[in-house]
Amino acid sequence: MRFGLHMRLSDGYEAAVERSRALGCKTMQVFTSNPRAYRQATPKVEALATFAALRARNDLDPAVTHTPYLINLASEDPKIFSGSLNLLKHDLKVAALAGIALVNTHLGSYGKRDREGGFAAIAAALEEALAEIPPTVTLVLENSAGAGALAGGTLDELGALLRAIDHPQLGICIDTAHAWAAGYKIDTKDDVARFVDEIDKKIGFDRLRMFHLNDTQIPLGGNRDRHWHIGEGLIGEVGFRALLGFAELRGKVAILETPGEDADDERNMATILRLYAEPA
């Protein structure tokens, strides 16, 4: 696997690349848009090309863009729906300019809408975004914590979207904390084996493009999106070691979105690299 962290860009591309390199990362995830705004600035083409060159020199590809949290492709509100679709298209374009291969997005929430109508809206939005996706980029759908009306909380639903759209540049990201919150038990070797088998059957290992590796303190099926330090939550070292041991997953990109400060990042990277080096 290629491990990396979600990196803030507040100190610039160079600082983020340097921190990633110093921590032993082989990939990184960033926000290339303001994560809390619908209106986005015009992409700075030269700066994005510099970011691509910096990553290439430091062996940090394939890298990941996380789209803004505002995105809701299941919304009945036409303003929110079209704003979300525009943000998604914007990030796909910016990713191509920055040499970023994977664009990870949340799907959103059905709200009070029936799931069938919401599912059709998501599928239509994804088809429109994929119709103009740059050839170097893959759009990756992240599983949700499954709270109430959130879309994409189950492998069944994500698999159904893959089949409904059937585009080669569409993939899936599994966030371990979200999976746990949605009720997937992944804290023992046997449970992880069942989970990986279900991923194979419903998603397919080729379509599974990346992981968000996060531990959690939310009870199993608790439907809340909270991340915790690797090995220090309810998934624990046993769960992560089991997951990292699968030969089919060893080529994947894996981003840590763990909380805390620089010292926590160091500890979390060290833990995941240790667990990867000594498989179950």
Q: Which residues bind Zn ion (CB under 5 A)?
A: 142, 175, 212
H helices of 132-247, where?
155-165, 176-181, 189-202, 236-244
- H or E stretch at 21: helix 13-22
Question: How far apart are CB 101 and Zn ion at their closest, in Å?
Answer: 17
Taking the least distance from each CB to Zn ion, the nearer of 54 and 229 is: 229
CB of 148 to Zn ion, least distance (A): 17
Looking at the Cβ atoms of 55 and 212, the one nearer to Zn ion is 212
Nearer to Zn ion, 54 or 180 (CB): 180
**Measuring CA to CA, which residue among 71, 87, 223, 227 is closest to residue 144?**
223
Q: State the nearest-atom distance from the C-beta of 255 to Zn ion, in Å.
A: 8
User: Minimum CB separation from Zn ion for residue 68, in Å?
Assistant: 10
Residue whose CB is less far from Zn ion, 181 or 196: 181
Q: Are 73 and 123 in contact (CB under 8 A)?
A: no
Give me the helix-helix angle, 155-165 and 115-131, nearest 10°.
50
Cα 152 to Cα 155: distance, rounded to the nearest angstrom: 7
Please identify, using beta-carbon distances, which residue of 65 and 271 lies nearer to Zn ion.
65
Q: How far is the CB of 133 from Zn ion (least distance, A)?
A: 19
Q: Are 87 and 71 within 8 A, CB to CB?
A: yes
* Residue 260 in tokens: 């805390």
